[in-house]
Chains A and B, each alone.
Chain A
Amino acid sequence: MSPTRREVLAGMGGATLAYAFQVGCTRTETIDYANFPAPERKEKPDGRPNKPGVDHRDWLLISSDGTVSAFTARTEMGQGLTTVMYNLLSQALELPDERIRVVLGDTELCPEDGPTTGSAATHYVAWSFWRACHEIKKDLVLLAAEATGLPSEDLEYIAGEIVSRSDGDRRIPMGELANGQVRRMNLDADDSSVPPPTYVDKGTLSVHAEAVVTGTLQYTGDMSIEGCLYGGLLIPPYHRDMTRLLTKRLGRAKKVPDIVDVQRKSWTIVAFGETYTSVQKALAAANTEWEVPDRPVELDNEREIRSGAVLRQVMEQKGDVEARLRASDIIHTESYITQYGSQFPMQTDTAIAKVEPDRTTVWVGTQSPFLVRYNTARSIFQPESKVRVIGLPMGGGFGAKAAHMVGAEAAKLSEMSGTPVKYVYSRKEEVQHRNRYKESVVIDISTGVTPDGRLLARKTDIFQDEGHGTEELYDIPDVLTLRYETRMPFKHGTMRGTSYVQTVFAVESHTDMVAEAIGMDPLAFRKRNVVLRAFRPLIDSCAEMMRYGVDELPEDHGVGFGIINHGGRQLGVVGAEVSVDRATGEIKVVRLCGSFDIGVVINRNTARMGIRGSMIWGLGYALFEEVQLDGHRCHTTGFSSYRIPRFSDTPPIELAFLDNQHPGAPRGCGEMPLPATLAAICNAVYKAIGVRFHTIPMTPERVLAALREG
């Protein structure tokens, strides 16, 4: 039986007062909060656990020493969640950072409040803590009134103390109210009465800053555990699911110094050694032969995607599209395709696992601690209650560390070796073998429009296995959006801007082409048709920053725009100026401007960082990023064969924040600027050289080929 949270927390500052809260909860709570048991899921009839869900019960603890601890399973991946949590808690409770603890990603301590994906942690988690703090202050006043006998109207919360208004000398520190109670509250889904947080001073630093710059921040690979061995798996020379190990000779591998063991295990060879290098050398020295895949080497993504496709989902249906298209004066039809992409976080996936008879611990940089716990429990046939996953800071995730197996694999290796095991993917292993790629997606799109620029009808066929589509951008009366599932043989998963980046690329490229077909300015066309009025000031602001229509552009330069609506809560407009070298085919992004409506910006440093980073990612998608796959192999090995944006690719970036839609709540920003930037660059290239790219990335080879075709 695993310890209850209360037992685990016993050492955290004596007596505690705990608050459990949930936003917008309407059902009756039946869970026994009093003992804060780690959430246990019902098992399926065959004993297998159910997949992780979301319970959305966040909680906060006040210790008798007056420190406040906040717990969430969301994790820090460089987006600044820890900093935002500190900023908000410190502002809400008027406390210095030293009196605040933020505990992230520990399955034993934290509620199962969802994975860290979709740029949603600030919006859902940090915001619910902010709102809870305001309720907690009121509750502390009531508790203090009970404790002192003073009327509650006479008491107010000031900086961690409950103070008497009539007698300022009478004050009770909130830590003294910590009496082992658990208070629970359901926060009203309507947050309009909650005071909004304010901007944190520009100079506010990331809480990790000093540890980062001194190299002392502990990422998973930096931990050392007594008796820990490195473990590793041999990756096959072909796509994993298309091959099998035929023969092996391991004599040489076993002779590598510092190697403890090399053996065949299930589908491959595993090695254990004292050092990372010894494991890599042993795996390289293993003499193996693998079955050649039984399929053609040649792979034409578009043909393959279309040939196997099956209609899976009607994503949106309004009116009668076919009839309206037939009746439209102008119909514009196009097809777009994106290529496979890979996240390439700077830190490869890494985990340490320690499997003991009664208890397993996994330390891992992960976006989904509870999914790691689930996968680990399954891989070593233990109940989830005996597995603890501790999420550590990540050297980037970008989706690669969401649905990943490194924790479960490390646990399997630890079980085999009988020691703790550290498993560090090599760069090649990560991209060739472990990766869930950003999908290659085909999009067919037809639009009917009036000569004066009113959108009438749109039919979109999306060939994509991850099906989220995109939020509506334009007001179109008749719409049909269908999604087809493909039979592409590669694993795909989340990657920054998933899974709507492809759709936005197509829709926003197409928008410019439709505008041109009717001879209308692309921004005027957008302003006329956007579904949300809040887009209009953003478009104006971005056009002004770009000096659109004011500056004369040099030859082979172009300016383009793209807009984005992320979940209805984050809006953005991005403008790009590019120059194209007709001799080399090289595209240079000269500058980028972005206008965003993302609610209150809690920390300007981290928000700007996230947004600029996301825009630079858009540049990478537009110009460089493509995993080289054929029917047998992945040819991409690492950064030498997968170009990501560099210093010299990064243009000046200008940002503006407008807050028109829902003043008040912070709404996050990490993914949203990316697709708009990608589309803006594509549209700018079209303006520069008159070539519309229906395939990204726009590599020099593709640009030269397109220019040759004229």
Chain B
Amino acid sequence: MAKKRYGLNVNGQRREVEAEPDEPLLWVLRDFLGLTGTKFGCGEGECGTCSVLIDGDEYPSCQVAVEDVAAGEQIVTIEGLGRPGDLSPVQKAFMDYTAFGCGYCTPGMIIAATALLRSNPRPTREQIIAAMDHHLCRCATYPNVLVAIESLAGPNDAEDG
């Protein structure tokens, strides 16, 4: 396959890349645009580590070809949500509740939680679990992540064991 030029809308900015049409968005972000906040976990769309927002919905960027997001779709990565000193509410909650261990899956988790809370600002615990269940965390920080998201969904009665 030959390379082509694509114009992408990433975090509100237009970015030009020259890539093969099937180049995964994950590696366009990491290798072409230097946006390394989006992490590589499995390459098969099974772990949620590389999630990004595309027009507000969450997608595993390793399963999205660059040619499918080159028509002006709004791509938002973890870098687009907030930066040190200027955190989004979800980022702040993950920080306040230490909702991470090694932190590698965290950008994907934050993207998913952001998408969930935009579509459903007051999810129940069951709805949070259903929405987050495809996100894997090998440090198994799930209890903290749940509490962090619930803190944004209104009062929570989560245990603090």
Instruction: Select from chain B the residue with minimum beta-carbon distance to A603.
Output: B98
Q: Are A346 and B129 in contact (CB under 8 A)?
A: no
Q: Are A647 and B103 in contact (CB under 8 A)?
A: no
Contacts of A206 in B (CB 8 A): 98, 100
Contacts of A614 in B (CB 8 A): 140
- Complex: A608 Cα to B142 Cα, angstroms: 12
Q: Are A257 and B1 in contact (CB under 8 A)?
A: yes
**Interface bits B109-136 vs A (CB < 8 Å: 1, else 0):** 0100000000000000000111011111
Q: Are A209 and B133 in contact (CB under 8 A)?
A: no
21 contacts between A and B (CB under 8 A): A78-B103, A209-B98, A210-B85, A211-B84, A214-B78, A215-B79, A216-B84, A222-B30, A257-B2, A257-B3, A275-B32, A347-B104, A396-B138, A638-B42, A640-B46, A645-B142, A646-B134, A647-B129, A648-B129, A650-B140, A650-B143
Contacts of A275 in B (CB 8 A): 23, 27, 31-32
Find A212's partner among B23, B96, B100 (CB 8 Å cutoff).
B100
The size bracket of the interface on A is: 35 or more
Find A205's partner among B34, B98, B130 (CB 8 Å cutoff).
B98
Q: Is B9 an interface residue (CB 8 A)?
A: no
- Complex: A394 Cα to B98 Cα, angstroms: 17
Q: Is B59 an interface residue (CB 8 A)?
A: no
Q: Are B37 and A346 in contact (CB under 8 A)?
A: no
Given contact pairs A213-B94, A215-B36, A609-B141, a sample of 14 additional A-B residue pairs in the complex whose CB atoms are under 8 Å apart = A209-B100, A214-B87, A214-B91, A217-B103, A257-B3, A274-B31, A275-B32, A343-B138, A347-B104, A612-B140, A613-B140, A638-B44, A639-B44, A655-B161
Instruction: Select from chain A the residue with minimum beta-carbon distance to B130.
Output: A648
**Interface bits B44-88 vs A (CB < 8 Å: 1, else 0):** 101101000000000000000000000000000111011111010
Q: Are A605 and B84 in contact (CB under 8 A)?
A: no
Q: Is A654 an interface residue (CB 8 A)?
A: yes
Q: Which residues of A from 564 to 579 have beta carbons under 8 Å from B?
A: none
Q: Is A606 an interface residue (CB 8 A)?
A: yes
Q: Are A396 and B139 in contact (CB under 8 A)?
A: yes
Find A644's partner among B2, B136, B141, B143 (CB 8 Å cutoff).
B136
Instruction: Select from chain B the residue with minimum beta-carbon distance to A83.
Output: B98
Instruction: Select from chain B the residue with minimum beta-carbon distance to A280.
Output: B43
Contacts of A655 in B (CB 8 A): 161
Contacts of B38 in A (CB 8 A): 215
Q: Are B159 and A647 in contact (CB under 8 A)?
A: no
Q: Knowing A347-B39, A639-B42, A652-B159, say if A616 contacts B140 (CB, 8 Å).
A: yes
Q: Are A214 and B84 in contact (CB under 8 A)?
A: yes
Q: Are B104 and A398 in contact (CB under 8 A)?
A: no
Q: Are B104 and A609 in contact (CB under 8 A)?
A: no
Q: Is A287 an interface residue (CB 8 A)?
A: no
Instruction: Select from chain A the residue with minimum beta-carbon distance to B103.
Output: A212
Q: Knowing A215-B78, A276-B31, A655-B161, say if A609 contacts B40 (CB, 8 Å).
A: no
Instruction: Select from chain A the residue with minimum beta-carbon distance to B35.
Output: A215
Q: Knowing A257-B1, A257-B3, say if A277 contacts B103 (CB, 8 Å).
A: no
Q: Which 4 A-B pairs have the closest CB atoms?
A: A215-B37, A78-B102, A395-B104, A212-B103
Residues of B in contact (CB 8 Å), total 67
Q: Are B95 and A205 in contact (CB under 8 A)?
A: yes
Contacts of B104 in A (CB 8 A): 78, 219, 345-347, 394-396
- Complex: A614 Cα to B141 Cα, angstroms: 10
Q: Is B105 an interface residue (CB 8 A)?
A: yes
Q: Knowing A213-B87, A346-B105, say if A78 contacts B133 (CB, 8 Å).
A: no
Contacts of A534 in B (CB 8 A): none
Q: Are B36 and A221 in contact (CB under 8 A)?
A: yes
Instruction: Select from chain A the residue with minimum beta-carbon distance to B79.
Output: A215
- Complex: A186 Cα to B70 Cα, angstroms: 64
- Complex: A214 Cα to B3 Cα, angstroms: 31
What distance in Å separates the Cβ of B111 from its nearest Cβ neighbour in chain A?
Answer: 10
Q: Is B10 an interface residue (CB 8 A)?
A: no
Q: Is B137 an interface residue (CB 8 A)?
A: yes
Q: Is A393 an interface residue (CB 8 A)?
A: yes
What distance in Å separates the Cβ of B112 from its nearest Cβ neighbour in chain A?
Answer: 11
Q: What's the dominant secondary structure at chain A's contact region? A: loop
Instruction: Select from chain A the residue with minimum beta-carbon distance to B144.
Output: A609
Q: Which residues of A from 646 to 698 have beta carbons under 8 Å from B?
A: 646-648, 650, 652-655
Q: Is B101 an interface residue (CB 8 A)?
A: yes
Q: Are A346 and B136 in contact (CB under 8 A)?
A: yes
- Complex: A207 Cα to B77 Cα, angstroms: 23
Q: Is A344 an interface residue (CB 8 A)?
A: yes
Contacts of A257 in B (CB 8 A): 1-3, 20
Q: Which residues of A from 165 to 218 have beta carbons under 8 Å from B?
A: 203, 205-206, 208-218
Find B82's partner among A80, A214, A394, A613 (CB 8 Å cutoff).
A214
- Complex: A675 Cα to B36 Cα, angstroms: 36
Q: Are A277 and B23 in contact (CB under 8 A)?
A: yes
Instruction: Select from chain B the residue with minimum beta-carbon distance to A221.
Output: B40
What distance in Å separates the Cβ of A213 from its nearest Cβ neighbour in chain B?
Answer: 4
**Interface bits A210-249 vs B (CB < 8 Å: 1, else 0):** 1111111111011010000000000000000000000000
Q: Are B46 and A638 in contact (CB under 8 A)?
A: yes
Q: Are B44 and A427 in contact (CB under 8 A)?
A: yes
Q: Is A622 an interface residue (CB 8 A)?
A: no
Contacts of A77 in B (CB 8 A): 102
- Complex: A396 Cα to B39 Cα, angstroms: 13
Q: Which residues of B from 146 to 161 have beta carbons under 8 Å from A?
A: 146, 159, 161
Q: Is A424 an interface residue (CB 8 A)?
A: yes
Q: Is B7 an interface residue (CB 8 A)?
A: no
Instruction: Select from chain B the residue with minimum beta-carbon distance to A615.
Output: B140
Q: Knowing A276-B27, A640-B44, A652-B159, say if A395 contacts B39 (CB, 8 Å).
A: yes
Q: Are A654 and B95 in contact (CB under 8 A)?
A: no
- Complex: A216 Cα to B20 Cα, angstroms: 27
What distance in Å separates the Cβ of B14 from its nearest Cβ neighbour in chain A?
Answer: 21
Q: Is A348 an interface residue (CB 8 A)?
A: yes
- Complex: A606 Cα to B95 Cα, angstroms: 12
- Complex: A648 Cα to B132 Cα, angstroms: 9
Q: Is A426 an interface residue (CB 8 A)?
A: yes
Contacts of A276 in B (CB 8 A): 27, 30-31, 40
Q: Is A617 an interface residue (CB 8 A)?
A: yes
- Complex: A209 Cα to B85 Cα, angstroms: 12
What distance in Å separates the Cβ of A235 from its nearest Cβ neighbour in chain B?
Answer: 14
- Complex: A347 Cα to B104 Cα, angstroms: 7
What distance in Å separates the Cβ of B56 from its nearest Cβ neighbour in chain A?
Answer: 19
Interface centre among B20, B83, B104, B134 (most CB of A within 10 A): B104
- Complex: A171 Cα to B45 Cα, angstroms: 61
Contacts of B77 in A (CB 8 A): 215
**Interface bits B15-35 vs A (CB < 8 Å: 1, else 0):** 000001001100100111010
Q: Are A213 and B91 in contact (CB under 8 A)?
A: yes
Contacts of B129 in A (CB 8 A): 647-648
What distance in Å separates the Cβ of A656 from its nearest Cβ neighbour in chain B?
Answer: 8
- Complex: A396 Cα to B102 Cα, angstroms: 6
What distance in Å separates the Cβ of B137 from its nearest Cβ neighbour in chain A?
Answer: 7
- Complex: A275 Cα to B30 Cα, angstroms: 9
Contacts of B91 in A (CB 8 A): 213-214
Q: Which residues of A from 96 to 155 have beta carbons under 8 Å from B?
A: none
- Complex: A344 Cα to B137 Cα, angstroms: 10
- Complex: A427 Cα to B60 Cα, angstroms: 15
